[in-house]
């Protein structure tokens, strides 16, 4: 028999309905069924004068069971449960702790009062999953906070802590002591039903609604569910609750089976699983309290900020005082601007800064449980630094390198403890970007890698385990992508056409605008270093070399693929580049042809799928869905497209094999075909 997910306990004349569906008390069909029967009991028994809804263990309903969303929903559905609560004739109090999100918070809004333990978070994150709240969230929330604020909350999916929720009226009280007793006492003193459905929607100023809508659409990249949520919320001003609820439900039902919702759920699960790695077995992370960051440059300062924000003691080490001062000032300026912008409370910022020790005293490395090296990207320098770390760090400390391209095994070999060496590849700016590659060297111990993944989570990153190969997963994918874009320019597309097609697809920025921003010289130097070893027959595009030779290194020199005149807000198309490209084509005897946006987008997706297949076959990527996590969180790939692996699985094996033959023909000599089965294998 299926285990009971809801049980009814009694506290005198108040029923305490306990939701017990580990691990997050998801509002699955069994929970909904259990709630229906408990509410029926409350309604029927004269000895009960009210009820409390509470979650077992450490949370209220933290969300719906997303796995159900791709299929027809089982009865009873959530709106039916909420209706039963509203119509049971007795007050029902939601006792919130942990998280009350999505359907969990909608259920709470269907109750007559909400009491929360301090630290509880509430919110309606449905929009971030391609849908809208479907059980009255868009109708009941505006009845508390008004239309403009409801638009802001629902469209951003923001999580609101109990103190802010209390200030906004989303909860009625924070429980000072025991939550359950506070909620029971509250239920006992409620005079009768206090249904939100019976409340009027506060009148809203048209300008404020327009402003909130415009801001939400912009922040939400104009995705359809954002507009749908706005429409549903705005409608509360003119339509009654019954009609509003039924319209909301219809939109929710349509959106939950939309392609975007499938893609966003795919990405949600891929991200959720990224730090749980079966390959690590039951290896336990080592304890980390103090982190030493070596090198206070761009990356070192960003890593230090991420670690300070997460509550670690940070020792920041440098080779010379001036560089150390620059790094320390950069960190200080960061916190000062966060406080000034109202993003961080001054005392929190001060506490973060107080945990930072900038120092030139290397023996202090002995204090660190984890050392993260972020010095110049040169093997000789890194090896020397690791030798020094090796001589000073305590036994068992994890030693990590932030290298982007260097061979981790060669770095590890310069120490006496390669088992403790891993890669922690952050992305710039390191305190902002979510992605972090945890690189496995050939000697890396499983618990050192587990420490990398757990630190990633603690720093609020999405850590992905990768093998040790040139560019790891992310930069390998990106290099293949960029190469394909260069092919297309050589064949006839202008850089701005390629950028526009990919931005229209949803990339935050096109590849040529990105190249100009990060500077063309790094890749140029890398190509020069590889000239001797590269496949001579393979197709090489020389346009970027010609740009660099002409001193066009990107934004920092005022020109790259585009021109950046002083004062111009956007990159400008440069006739000199058009001419340079035309010459490069004619040097190779290429007759330019038109490439449409659809071809550009398709070639990019196929290239990414092919490279993912190669990375999986080589064991550099360990799990197909990690590829999607990497691209969305490190490279501006549009989340709502799910990622190339999602796309490939949608297309299926037969179509993909034909697609990849076409990609091979487009790409010319040197193209290495991957086996798409690696991408399609859902266990992979
Ligand atoms: P950076 O040039 O801004 O900073 C490097 C810092 O290391 C400088 O402050 C320098 O004084 C210090 N340093 C150099 N040799 C040292 C030594 N022997 N001992 C102590 N400190 C030393 O460089 P950035 O951009 O921060 O890069 C650092 C590392 O991070 C490189 O390995 C790079 O490949 C990697 N990385 C860089 C990314 C980026 O976007 N900039 C992204 C991801 C990784």
pLDDT for 626-670, tens place per residue?
999 999 999 999 999 999 999 999 999 999 999 999 999 999 999
pLDDT tens profile 21-39: 999 999 999 999 999 999 9
The answer for residues whose C-beta is within 8 angstroms of residue 533's C-beta and 6 or more apart is none
Is residue 106 annotated as part of the catalytic site, yes or no? yes
Residue 328 has pLDDT above 80, yes or no: yes
Both tokens assigned to 32: 């909904």
Written as six digits, the tokens of 252 are 């929710």
643 contacts 623 by C-beta, under 8 angstroms: no
423 pairs with which residues across the strands? 401, 439
CATH architecture entry for 288-468: 3-Layer(aba) Sandwich (3.40)
Q: What are phi and psi of 221, to 5 degrees?
A: 50, 30
> Mean pLDDT throughout 364-378?
97
Catalytic hit among 33, 106, 271, 491: 106
Query: Could you count the other beta carbons within 10 Å of the beta carbon of residue 246?
Result: 12
What's the start-to-end Cα distance of the chain, in Å?
Answer: 33
CATH no. of 6-257: 3.90.226.10
Domain boundaries, the chain: 6-257, 288-468, 475-680
Predicted confidence band of residue 388 (pLDDT cuts 50, 70, 90): very high
Please, is 600 exposed, middle or buried when counting C-beta atoms within 10 Å of its C-beta (0-12, 13-18, 19+)? buried
- Which CATH architecture fits 475-680? Orthogonal Bundle (1.10)
Instruction: Please write the tens of the pLDDT for every residue from 189-247.
Output: 998 999 999 999 999 999 999 999 999 999 999 999 999 999 999 999 999 999 999 99
Q: Are 421 and 448 in contact (CB under 8 A)?
A: yes
Q: Encode 479-502: b = buried (16+ Cβ within 10 Å), e = exposed.
A: ebbbbbbbbbbbbebbbbbbbbbb
pLDDT over threshold 70, residue 80:
yes
pLDDT at 408: 98
Which atom number of ligand 1 is nearest to the Cα of residue 385? 18
What is the pLDDT at residue 568?
83
Q: What percent of the chain has pLDDT over 70?
A: 99
- DSSP tally for the chain: helices H, then strands E: 28, 17
Position in ligand 1 atom list of the atom nearest CA 300? 26
Cβ(202) to ligand 1 under 6 A? no
Q: Quick check: do 6-257 and 288-468 share a fold?
A: no
Any ligand 1 atom below 6 A from CB of 296: yes
Residue for token pair 């219809």 = 250
CA atoms within 13 A on the CB side of 209: 18
Q: What is the pLDDT of residues 529-565, one digit of tens each?
A: 888 888 888 999 999 999 999 999 999 999 999 999 9
Cα–Cα distances (Å) from 81 to 306, 367, 442, in that order, read: 42, 55, 54
Which atom of ligand 1 is least distant from the CA of 381?
18
Name the DSSP class of 539: -
Q: What is the mean pLDDT of residues 80-95?
A: 98
492 lines ligand 1 (CB under 6 A): no
Q: Give the mean pLDDT of the chain.
A: 96
DSSP H helical ranges for 374-445: 379-392, 408-412
Once rounded to an integer, what is the mean pLDDT over residues 175-188?
96
Find all residues with CB under 8 Å of 400, minimum gap 6, and list them. Answer: 370, 371, 372, 373, 421, 422, 423, 424, 452
Q: How far is CA 373 from the centre of its chain?
A: 25
Q: Are 295 and 374 in contact (CB under 8 A)?
A: yes
Residue 1: per-residue pLDDT: 44
Whether cis (ω within 30° of 0) applies to the bond prior to 429 is yes
Compute, in angstroms, the gap from residue 294 CA to the centroid of ligand 1: 9
Element (H, E) at 393: none
pTM of the model: 0.94
Residue 683, pLDDT above cutoff 70: no
**Catalytic-labelled residue, pool 9, 33, 68, 126:** 126
Residue 295 Cα to ligand 1 middle (Å):
6
**Residue 375 beta carbon below 6 angstroms from any ligand 1 atom:** yes
pLDDT digits (tens, 9 = 90+) for 116-161: 999 999 999 999 999 999 999 999 999 999 999 999 999 999 999 9
Query: Residue 95, SS3?
Result: strand
Residues 551, 643: Cα–Cα separation, whole Å: 36
Tokens describing residue 320: 């010379």
ipTM exceeding the 0.85 mark:
yes
């Amino acid at each position: 028999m299926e285990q009971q997910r809801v049980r009814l306990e009694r506290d005198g004349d108040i029923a305490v309905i306990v939701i017990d569906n580990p691990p997050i008390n998801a509002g699955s069909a069994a929970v909904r069924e259990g709630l229906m029967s408990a509410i029926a009991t409350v309604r029927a028994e004269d000895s009960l004068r009210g009820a409390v809804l509470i979650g077992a263990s450490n949370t209220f309903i933290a969300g719906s069971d997303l796995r159900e969303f791709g299929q027809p929903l089982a009865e009873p559905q959530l709106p039916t449960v909420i209706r039963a609560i509203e119509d049971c004739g007795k007050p029902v109090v939601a006792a919130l702790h942990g998280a009350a999100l999505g359907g969990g918070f909608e259920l709470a809004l269907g109750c007559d009062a909400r009491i929360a333990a301090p630290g509880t978070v509430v919110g309606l994150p449905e929009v971030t999953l391609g849908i809208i709240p479907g059980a009255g969230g868009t109708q009941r929330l505006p009845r508390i906070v008004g239309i403009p604020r409801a638009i802001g909350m629902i469209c951003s999916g923001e999580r609101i802590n109990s103190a802010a929720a209390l200030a906004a009226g989303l909860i009625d009280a924070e429980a000072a002591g025991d939550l359950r007793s506070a909620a029971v006492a509250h239920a006992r003193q409620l005079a009768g039903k206090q249904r939100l459905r019976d409340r009027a929607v506060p009148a809203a100023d048209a300008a404020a609604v327009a402003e909130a809508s415009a801001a939400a659409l912009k922040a939400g990249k104009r995705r359809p569910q954002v507009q749908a949520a706005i429409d549903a919320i705005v409608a509360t001003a003119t339509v009654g609750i019954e009609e509003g609820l039924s319209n909301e439900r219809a939109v929710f039902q349509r959106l939950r089976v939309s392609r975007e919702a499938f893609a966003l759920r795919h990405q949600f699960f891929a991200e959720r699983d990224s730090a749980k790695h079966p390959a690590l077995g039951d290896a336990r992370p080592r304890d980390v309290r103090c982190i030493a960051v070596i090198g206070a440059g761009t990356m070192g300062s960003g890593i230090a900020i991420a670690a300070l924000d997460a509550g670690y003691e940070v020792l920041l080490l440098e080779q010379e005082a001036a560089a150390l001062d620059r790094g320390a000032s950069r960190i200080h300026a960061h916190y000062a601007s966060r406080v000034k912008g109202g993003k961080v409370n001054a005392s929190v910022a001060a506490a973060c800064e107080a945990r930072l020790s900038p120092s030139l005293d290397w023996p202090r490395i002995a204090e660190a449980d984890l050392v993260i090296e972020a010095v110049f990207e040169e093997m000789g320098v890194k090896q020397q630094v690791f030798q020094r770390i090796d001589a000073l760090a305590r036994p068992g400390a994890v030693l990590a390198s932030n290298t982007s391209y260097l061979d981790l095994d060669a770095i590890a070999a310069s120490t006496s403890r390669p088992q403790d060496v891993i890669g922690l590849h952050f992305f710039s700016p390191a305190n902002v970007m979510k992605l972090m590659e945890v690189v496995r060297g050939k000697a890396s111990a499983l618990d050192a890698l587990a420490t990398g993944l757990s630190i990633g989570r603690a720093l609020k990153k999405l850590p992905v385990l990768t093998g040790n190969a040139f560019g790891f997963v992310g930069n390998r994918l990106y290099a293949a992508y960029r190469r394909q874009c260069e092919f297309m320019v050589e064949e006839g597309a202008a850089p701005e056409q390629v950028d526009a097609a990919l931005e229209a697809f949803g990339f935050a920025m096109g590849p040529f605008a990105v190249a100009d921003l990060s500077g063309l010289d790094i890749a140029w130097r890398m190509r020069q270093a590889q000239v001797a070893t590269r496949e001579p027959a393979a197709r090489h595009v020389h346009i970027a070399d010609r740009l660099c030779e002409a001193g066009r290194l990107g934004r920092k020199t005022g020109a790259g693929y585009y021109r950046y005149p002083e004062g111009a807000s956007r990159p400008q198309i440069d006739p000199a580049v058009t001419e340079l490209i035309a010459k490069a084509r004619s040097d190779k005897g290429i007759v330019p042809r038109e490439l449409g946006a659809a071809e550009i987008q398709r070639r990019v997706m196929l290239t990414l799928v092919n490279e993912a297949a190669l990375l999986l076959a080589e064991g550099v990527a360990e799990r197909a869905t990690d590829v999607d996590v990497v691209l969305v969180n490190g490279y501006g790939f549009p989340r709502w497209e799910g990622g190339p692996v999602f796309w490939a699985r949608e297309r299926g094996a037969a179509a993909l094999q034909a697609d990849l033959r076409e990609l091979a023909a487009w790409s010319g000599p040197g193209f290495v075909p991957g086996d798409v089965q690696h991408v399609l294998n859902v266990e992979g």
